[in-house]
Structure 1
């Protein structure tokens, strides 16, 4: 799940007022899961979402009130069929925390961004004390994963254990709630722990028509996009505006220098057989979550034989490569090919969960 911390940091750093709304609990059928956030300003939604539709409109109304009053609240929304045609008709319940002053924790968001930019995950902790009905007193902290983290004093041992366990996971988002002992004039107290890490990386070798289209879809699917090509006129912001990073150099050499991890997805769509082979070789057995290569079945069969004969790959290693790339949906146009590749990326990203649910 994409977190909006960067937009929060950019907006708050400008000195502008804003309200940060976060779904803290949900039950039944709800449009967004716990941890989903939206940032609201005086003119409405700035970034993110808590579900859209009538729920988001209701949250936005409370956000305006919070901007005016400076009071944070936590509110329970019932999402049932009585909402009528305009409602989402989810039939569930969502609790939303509305932070009237997220700027009070600007340093927390700066520390969060620094950790993510370094390629590490961490835990965003939010302590909420409920007073006088819906009124919420909020305190936030950030525990950077790259340093093992320092856990604030006063948290229960089971919360500390949850932090350690969540930091130790390789990927995925977690949003956990733990009740804490209440105190004088405090009706309820809890800590919410959200694991936030870097987006999965999508490395696209080849900045031609297909590479550009895949980059666009990858952006929509919340990947961090790196595009590699040796042609500077193609590996450019003008040609691939959706890329986070552009690498202009020999593609095979560039791939040898990029560290591939269990959260890296490689799409090989270069302009020819030789370039495909040069890019593919350093990907064999390198530990990427996904490696896919474009090509006809004839080309793929010939390259498979070459790689095995020359000892560049074992049959088992070759069979782990998705080639010809993409799901078989009868693709013909560039856009259709990109859709088939994007669909395969989504399937592989969620494969473990799909297998567990089967």
Structure 2
């Protein structure tokens, strides 16, 4: 649901009533992942998507029905080959959809409103909802903050909320959306509930070192992928807002010095486009020791080999060097800055999703590498 939070926040502030259909589970190949949502207001306006088109019409009608009767339901959609016009996923997967009405007097409206506001403002929070359990508990919601505070409620036992909040904080810290299984009383025993936890975290960072023409194209692609993009270069004549109007930040500083001072996390991607040893070596010497998601460096194969030797001389280990994506990007035959930016972005996505980077035609690999639903994590388990 948080993928359409900005628009839902606007609806909530306008006092609109709406119903939200959220993917809570997937099995096999499916176009959208848990947390993807479609919402319909009382006027029939729809936003978002749960299937990329396969079952949108049927889900739209479920939302309209939920607005009429105020009932929360879970509906399963799967592949049907008996009737070409049957409602089903032509990709062969299965998705479970939780449909929740958010009416003026809904007990969960305050939680939904707060969750959408937090996500729209870029504030970290985790929305927890009952996705599988007794009908009277379906859709119950809890909003968990990084400091452990929570609002709302999932059931009638206070230990349930405390236990769920603890589990949700672990997923929030990792910036992950997923499900957990927990007992109705908050323990591992008794009748169990499946909870969907949606983490809303600030956009992952992309830091582009080197204010060159290729950087300008990469900034645009980085924004398209949802990154908070920073351009850093030590040369003030090149690192200007006029040259990079779409960047979130343009920083004039020595790259290695900026890297040491700026906040990073496990989702951060670092793209080194300077291909100049006086900038690259001190920067990469530090970058390859950091627990970031991706480190790539531009340059020819000759530049790459020479840079590797300089890095070894600076004390970088072979294990650290193995993390470096250089020459940066996938082999697309790219020549223009835009094509090169696309090849870099493709490598970043492949690294994040576990893709091979090979053509899907003739390949025997899954199209959606993280699309298959694994078992729900039980309370107390280590992910």
Shorter-chain TM-score: which interval?
Answer: 0.7 to 0.9
8 Å contact kept, 2:206–2:270? yes
Match in the other structure for 2:266? 262
3-state secondary structure, aligned to 1:259:
coil
Secondary structure at the counterpart of residue 292 of structure 1:
strand
Q: Greater relative contact order (Cα 8 A, min sep 6): structure 1 or 2?
A: 2
Alpha-carbon distance between aligned partners in 1 of 2:351 and 2:78, rounded to the nearest angstrom: 35
- Partner Cα distance (1:81, 1:142) in 2: 40
* Deviating more after overlay: 269-278 vs 337-346: 269-278
Preserved contact between residue 181 and residue 195 of structure 2 (Cα < 8 Å): yes
Q: Pick one of 167, 187, 194 that aligns with 2:169.
A: 167
Normalising by the residue count of structure 2, what TM-score does the alignment of the two structures yield?
0.71
Any conservation in 1 of the 2:78–2:95 contact (CA below 8 Å)? Answer: yes
User: Is 2:207 the partner of 1:203?
Assistant: yes
Shift of residue 325 of structure 1? 0.9
Task: Give the drift of 1:126.
Answer: 1.7
The structure 1 residue matched to 2:310, chosen from 306, 329, 337, is 306
How has the CA–CA distance of structure 1 residues 258 and 298 changed in structure 2, closer, same or farther, with 3 Å as cutoff? same
**Matches of 2:157 and 2:206 in 1, distance apart?**
37
User: 1:30 deviation in Å?
Assistant: 3.6
Q: Does structure 2 retain, via aligned residues, the 8 Å contact 1:30–1:94?
A: yes
**Other-structure match for 2:340:** 337
2:289 maps to: 285
Corresponding pairs, count: 342
Name the residue aligned to 2:180: 176
Relative distance call for 1:137 and 1:272 in structure 2 (3 A) is same
Cα deviation for residue 340 of structure 1 reads 2.0
* CA 1:285–1:124: 2 relative to 1, 3 Å: same
The equivalent of 2:144 in structure 1 is 143
Distance 1:65 1:290 in 2: 45
Is the Cα–Cα contact under 8 Å of residues 166 and 174 in structure 1 kept in the other structure? no
Hey, what does 1:185 align to over in structure 2? none
Structure whose residues are more often helix by fraction: 1
Q: Could you list the runs of 5+ residues in structure 2 that have no partner in the other structure?
A: 186-190, 356-367, 373-383
Contact 1:3/1:196, CA 8 A, preserved across alignment: no
Query: How far does the alpha carbon of each residue in 1:316-357 deviate from its partner, in whole angstroms, 9 at most, with x for none?
Result: 4334222211123332222322222112212222349979x9
Q: Deviations over 1:165-189 (max 9, x none)?
A: 45335353213355749xxxxxx99
Which residue of structure 1 aligns with residue 8 of structure 2?
Answer: 8
Aligned to 2:84: 84
1: CA distance, partners of 2:243 / 2:64: 39
Deviation at 1:207, TM superposition (A): 4.6
Gap change, CA 1:330 and 1:235, over 3 Å in 2? same
1:85-100 matches, cutoff 5 A: 88-100=89-101
Distance 2:208 2:271 in 1: 5
Deviation at 1:105, TM superposition (A): 2.8
SS of alignment partner, residue 75 of structure 1 = strand
Cα distance change of structure 1 residues 159 and 13 upon mapping to structure 2, 3 Å threshold: closer
The change in CA–CA distance for 1:299 and 1:24 in structure 2 (over 3 A counts) is: closer
Alignment partner, residue 253 of structure 2:
250
Give 2:324's aligned residue.
321
Distance in 1 between residues matched to 2:329 and 2:236, nearest whole Å: 25
- The verdict on how the C-alpha distance between 1:9 and 1:106 changes in structure 2, with shifts beyond 3 A counting, is farther
Deviates more, 1:84-93 or 1:48-57: 84-93
Q: Match of 2:360?
A: none
CA contact (8 A) 1:127 1:189 kept: no
Equivalent of 2:197 in 188, 194, 197: 194
> Would the aligned equivalents of 1:232 and 1:248 in 2 still touch at CA under 8 Å?
no
2:163, 2:303 → 1: CA distance? 52
Task: Name the CA shift for 1:72/1:333 in 2 (closer, same or farther; >3 Å).
Answer: same
